[in-house]
Amino acid sequence: MKKLLFTCLALATLAVSMPFCGKKGGTSDSCSTEKTLTVTTSPANGANEAAAPGPTFPLTVTIGSTLPTSGVTIQVKARPDGVSTTFFTEERSSTSASNSFTITGTPASTTCVVEITVTSKTCATNKWTGSYRYSRK
């Protein structure tokens, strides 16, 4: 009887401890070793640009931190201020520090918001976001 009780207790202990196995060693956490993304943009993040003739508007996204080994995904969206529908969207994968975009389709005489998101391909929580406002004459 004592052997049966000991065996049941050992099996219960093993069953309870199984979910904790492998959490420390098996996989590496790429987020803990990856540098936090630092990004500058031109026009600058937070800027309110003066109205310009257009019809195209350049944007440069420069990654100042060490690039993740797998690169980043850069998403650029432009929309009229106060409206959720975008008139311009571009998403690209990059392993370069400097990335140029050309925003097209800007409506005239309307303040627009450009939203930029840079996300590590290795660690989805390593993300930078920024925005600026501009308008076309």
The number of residues making up the chain comes to 137
Question: pLDDT for 78-93, tens place per residue?
Answer: 999 999 999 999 999 9
- Give this prediction's pTM: 0.78
Instruction: Answer yes or no: is 22 within a domain.
Output: no
Instruction: Answer yes or no: is 13 within a domain.
Output: no
- Asked if 55 and 96 count as a contact pair (C-beta separation under 8 A), the reply is no
Sign of the torsion angle spanned by Cα atoms 10, 12, 16, 18: positive
Q: Which two tokens stand for residue 95?
A: 């392993």
- The residues, any chain, with a CB within 8 Å of residue 86's CB and separated by 6 or more, are 77, 78, 79
Instruction: Answer yes or no: is 1 within a domain.
Output: no
Q: Which two tokens stand for residue 43?
A: 């026009």
Which conformational region is residue 70 in: left (phi greater than 0), alpha (psi within -120 to 50 degrees), or beta? alpha
- Asked if 31 and 123 count as a contact pair (C-beta separation under 8 A), the reply is yes
Q: What values do phi and psi take at 38, rounded to 5?
A: -120, 135
Instruction: Answer yes or no: is 29 within a domain.
Output: no
Instruction: Answer yes or no: is 89 within a domain.
Output: yes
Instruction: Answer yes or no: is 73 within a domain.
Output: yes
Helix (H, G, I), strand (E, B) or coil at 42: strand
Q: Considering its fold, how many domains does the chain have in total?
A: 1
Question: pLDDT for 2-57, tens place per residue?
Answer: 555 445 445 555 455 544 444 444 445 668 889 999 999 999 999 999 999 999 99
Residue 109: name the closest of 137, 84, 88 by CA: 137
CATH code of the domain containing 113: 2.60.40.10
| Structural domain harbouring 47 | 34-135
Question: pLDDT for 103-127, tens place per residue?
Answer: 999 999 999 999 999 999 999 999 9
Instruction: Answer yes or no: is 5 within a domain.
Output: no
Instruction: Answer yes or no: is 78 within a domain.
Output: yes
